[in-house]
Structure 1
Amino acid sequence: MSKDKQFRLPEYQQYLVPKGPNSHGSMILVRATIPSSEVEPAHCGDGVEAQAIRIHLANDSLVVYNIYKPPPKRLEADALLTQATQELVLIAGDFNAHHPTINPTTTLNQNGHYLMELLTDFPEITLINTGEPTHILGGTLDLTFISTEFVPVAQWEVDDELTSDHFAKTTPLRMELLPPLPRPPPRWNYKKANWKLYQDELQKWYSINEPAEDIDQLNQDFTDAIQHAAEGAIPKTNPTNKHHKDYWFYNDEVREQNHRINTFRRHLRQYPSLRE
């Protein structure tokens, strides 16, 4: 959709990427009663169009991706699927990726092989297509991925009535069936708190600080004062003594090097070296 053609649907929040020289255009619509916001999408390859929004749930959030990979472009989905290891995601779009896992009658192409190999490295995300064609000529071009924990409460369907050359796809998520998120471990050991010291620290802050006129700054100052008082008067908890199996040498630097090695291995699978 171009900038000079405005589309409005009452009671929906519109997130639009206009059609342009380097974009086919895309749109995500969210019911206005559902809190949502636009986020910066992960890089999916040069010329691959990606749009992302965050839907704010009661106890968490869900990042929804809208993807279009033109046939001649090369997909780079490492960063995209890595996001599924950090938060809940739903990824849908036209990937132009062909693999027998997606559709047994299709012809394998490089993007399909790369995408299926990549999925084995990310058990946190699952392809939920049923194998039913998503194109009127019989191809399965449109794929839907969701966080694996959503699989038991998700349903994937093709809508035969909403169509152009592609059929519309629906993915209901029965959110009420999801188990409640576990409570985070307590940060402070209140049983050992020195409440007299805590009160004295807050009283000291109040006596020497001039309240800010800006309400946001006042809120931030007061929050910092509470944090400072708690750190001096309430000991921290130690919710677990569990170590990494290689805790005696494992640290952030080792973790980063492991990440780089795994990323390089995935890169080699996508772009095999010509050397023996």
Structure 2
Amino acid sequence: MVVYVKRSIPVELVSPPGKHGGIECIAVKLRLAAGCLTLVNVYVSQNSLRFEHLPDSVFRDPTLLVGDLNARHDSLGSAGSRNWNGTVWHQFLNDYDDVRLLGDDSPTHLQGGRIDYACLFNTEGMGGKCEVVSELLSDHFALYVELPLGKALANHGRVRYTITTNNRIRFVNQLTAWYSRYRPHDVDTFYEDLVKQIFTVVDKNTAERKSTPVRRNYTKDVQVRAWNTTVRRAHQEWTRSGKTDEARIALQEVAKACSVVREEARVKY
């Protein structure tokens, strides 16, 4: 199970691929111009739909839930009104305060009878387009979903931390000492605090790391580069002149002056 997100959209993994009861899902949080939207890709094995296994974001955050739900309801053309375990997905959608079913209620299995949905939760009236894509060769039709969303204006690059080999043991020891004193209240808070602690440790180690600034190479000095150009042109003139004595003497004078400038630059840098 996988979710692909364009590189230009900042994204955070909320729930890694996993199975909870009869539901398999993966959830990612997209950072957009108007806030965050959680995208949940879900697969429900036949007749195994239970609401308590849905991701928490469905009940609290703006969420788009799509996938293979294997749900049944006679009003939508399904063969049968409910799954064998008594779950009625359509009734859940009716009872929930802020949820919209996208699409035209078309069955997305070739045989019909079971319905896949795209649903918006907690989005305060947001609409969207959902169409069945029948061109793909599969035992399912695909769902194409389009929402009126804007990208975040700022560039939120993924934060990457690095530590040197020499600091690795100290890094582990510092995090171990922090964890031995930490008393998390819930998993979400723990992960947030862990990331903050990693940033603190890495930032502190970087500040304490003594490094010798790289000295500029004298060959990049402005005067040295200008004299190198003059020598090159003098050599070209000597060649074009047929290597006359006059051009040779001029080349030698330029080369001597360039040597003096280079020596001064070596001392300077």
User: TM-score under structure 2 normalisation?
Assistant: 0.49
Hey, which of these two has a bigger chunk of helix by percent?
2
User: TM-score under structure 1 normalisation?
Assistant: 0.48
Higher relative contact order (CA 8 A, sep 6+): 2
